[in-house]
Amino acid sequence: MAKKDYKAICSAIIEACGGEGNISGVSHCMTRLRLQLRDSSKLNEEKAKHIPGLLGMVVQNGEYQFVVGQDVATLYEEFEKHDGIKTTGVVEDAEALKEDMGRQKGNVLNTIMSFIGGTFSPVIPVLVAGGLTGAVLTLLTTFFGVSTESGTYTVIYAINQATFYFLPVFIGFSAASRLKSNAYLGAFLGAILLYSTINNAEGLSFAGIPIAQIAYNSTVFPIILGVLFMSVIYRFLQKHMPVYLRTIFVPLITILITVPVTLIVLGPIGNTAGTWLANGVLAIYRAVPPIAVMIIGITTPLMVFFGMNNATYPVVFALLAEVGSDPLICTGMAPANVAVGGACLAAALIAKDVNDKSVATGAGVTALCGITEPGVYGVLFTKKYPLIGAMIGGGIGGLLAGLVGMTQYVISTPGFISIPAYISPDGTNTNLIWSLVVMILAVIVAFVVTLVLGKKAEAKA
């Protein structure tokens, strides 16, 4: 594959989007560059979708997502060199904010899913790094004789625990950024909820009103609801308070109003919602485990295509808090992701064009590691047969995963590269072995089905 000219790609994106002045914010997730535009009518969508070096563009609730691949951070660095473009993702322009909110009024469910997905997407690297350290600890203690009393264990254990204990801080920052509010106040709210005299505190009250005892370090809904409320208060004060008073009184009043409301009202609501969600998902899983996991295996490529895959993270956290592992979402996504890899590699074998072979091969290897956006956008949805192959492979893999009770113990990007996530904390290898069997089966089925369907399709072409 030819080396990418990131400077040229950056310039082409800016030109297609109507120039620097039309770009109100730029951020990126693991594989996509995400842009917010001030005036969508200035976008040359046809040109934007066919920029050399990119795999396409997706419009998601007013956000323009350019599918780049795992080298997205390198392209993002080119945007950071442009002084006229904000690369923080925070938009303070009121008119731009109104335009963004106006574009999102059509579909409430889609807006909610987009908000949740956009909130968790920037936090994924933290979750993957911190989550997999749990598997590293299991490897160290089980196979390398590292003592749980050693300094090495203590340090790595701290990395693992800090990831999830302080998750409300990360979510608070990300959610506030997504809402075009003050991200640091969002993080501050998360830190307040985790403070020792508030987190899981018993017998606490405010102005005589009792505060429910909640372990905020093990749930994400309270901080999300708190930041939603905080952003409304913050924007109201920013709009109505005199400019010379804003610096001091806007953050002060915002926090003084938000914290009690969150602790007394929103926290209990969010905690209850998380508990109900976990119980509901578990009820479905326990009723028909194979079918439930199979559905996730089949539909994951579709969720990725529509940008809904990251919106499943609240379910994952609810399951982890309830049962200590995820036997459904990440478990179903593991065979689905590697099945995309198998389908892409089969498509590469069939492809006659050198560039198509190159794109499919690169996307296939990336998908085997758990990153499927390049494969989904660059291969599966450009031709029908790789999509069918991937969905069948993911479905059969998911069916087997549900039958054998496969589960994922820590949060990571489901795929072969995260195989330590399937090592049981008790040191047994049964779940790990079944995980390998499930994913290998998914790859083989997806590869064979895509190869057969692809050869028939190419013969008719």
Q: Between the CA of residue 59 and those of 33, 41, 390, what are the distances in Å?
A: 12, 13, 24
The listed range with the strongest mean pLDDT (128-132, 135-139, 240-244, 277-281) is: 240-244
In a domain, 340, yes or no: yes
pLDDT of 348 strictly over 90: yes
Claim to verify: residue 356 and residue 239 sit in the same structural domain:
no
In a domain, 42, yes or no: yes
109 pLDDT band, cuts 50/70/90, is low
Claim to verify: residue 355 and residue 383 sit in the same structural domain:
yes
Residue 103: both structure tokens together: 């574009």
In a domain, 82, yes or no: yes
Domain count, the chain: 3
Q: Are 277 and 328 in contact (CB under 8 A)?
A: no
Please give the DSSP secondary-structure letter assigned to residue 34. Answer: E
pLDDT digits 0-9 by tens, 192-212:
999 999 999 999 999 999 999
Distance in angstroms (rounded) separating the CA atoms of residues 341 and 378: 12
Q: Between the CA of residue 368 and those of 129, 136, 337, 340, what are the distances in Å?
A: 18, 21, 7, 8
Structural Rg of the chain based on CA atoms: 23
Claim to verify: residue 442 and residue 372 sit in the same structural domain:
yes
Q: Within a 10 A sphere around the Cβ of 443, how many other Cβ atoms?
A: 26
Claim to verify: residue 280 and residue 297 sit in the same structural domain:
no
Of 234, 140, 141, residue with least CA distance to 188: 234
Distance in angstroms (rounded) separating the CA atoms of residues 119 and 170: 9
Claim to verify: residue 179 and residue 325 sit in the same structural domain:
no
Q: Are 189 and 171 in contact (CB under 8 A)?
A: no
Distance in angstroms (rounded) separating the CA atoms of residues 414 and 422: 10
Task: List the CATH number of the domain containing 57.
Answer: 3.30.1360.60
Task: Indicate the residue among 258, 284, 310 that finishes a domain.
Answer: 284
Please give the DSSP secondary-structure letter assigned to residue 150. Answer: S
pLDDT of 325 strictly over 60: yes
Claim to verify: residue 227 and residue 362 sit in the same structural domain:
no
For residue 210, the surrounding DSSP H or E stretch is strand 209-210
In a domain, 108, yes or no: no
Q: Are 75 and 9 in contact (CB under 8 A)?
A: yes
| CA 11 from centre of chain | 27
Q: Within a 10 A sphere around the Cβ of 247, how many other Cβ atoms?
A: 10
Of 373, 307, 376, residue with least CA distance to 60: 307
- Amino acid 288 reads V
Q: Within a 10 A sphere around the Cβ of 149, how many other Cβ atoms?
A: 7
The residues facing 36 across adjacent strands are 25, 63
How much of the chain, in percent, has pLDDT values that exceed 70?
92
Claim to verify: residue 213 and residue 304 sit in the same structural domain:
no
In a domain, 171, yes or no: yes
Claim to verify: residue 333 and residue 220 sit in the same structural domain:
no
Mean pLDDT of 8-16: 94
Mean pLDDT of 173-177: 92
Q: What is the pTM of this model?
A: 0.68
pLDDT digits 0-9 by tens, 407-425:
999 888 888 988 888 988 8
In a domain, 338, yes or no: yes
Of 31, 7, 33, residue with least CA distance to 87: 33
Print the domain residue range for 279.
166-284
How much of the chain, in percent, has pLDDT values that exceed 90?
46
Claim to verify: residue 23 and residue 87 sit in the same structural domain:
yes
Claim to verify: residue 200 and residue 69 sit in the same structural domain:
no
In a domain, 213, yes or no: yes
pLDDT of 231 strictly over 70: yes
Claim to verify: residue 300 and residue 438 sit in the same structural domain:
yes
Distance in angstroms (rounded) separating the CA atoms of residues 342 and 452: 13
Claim to verify: residue 185 and residue 320 sit in the same structural domain:
no
Q: Are 33 and 100 in contact (CB under 8 A)?
A: no
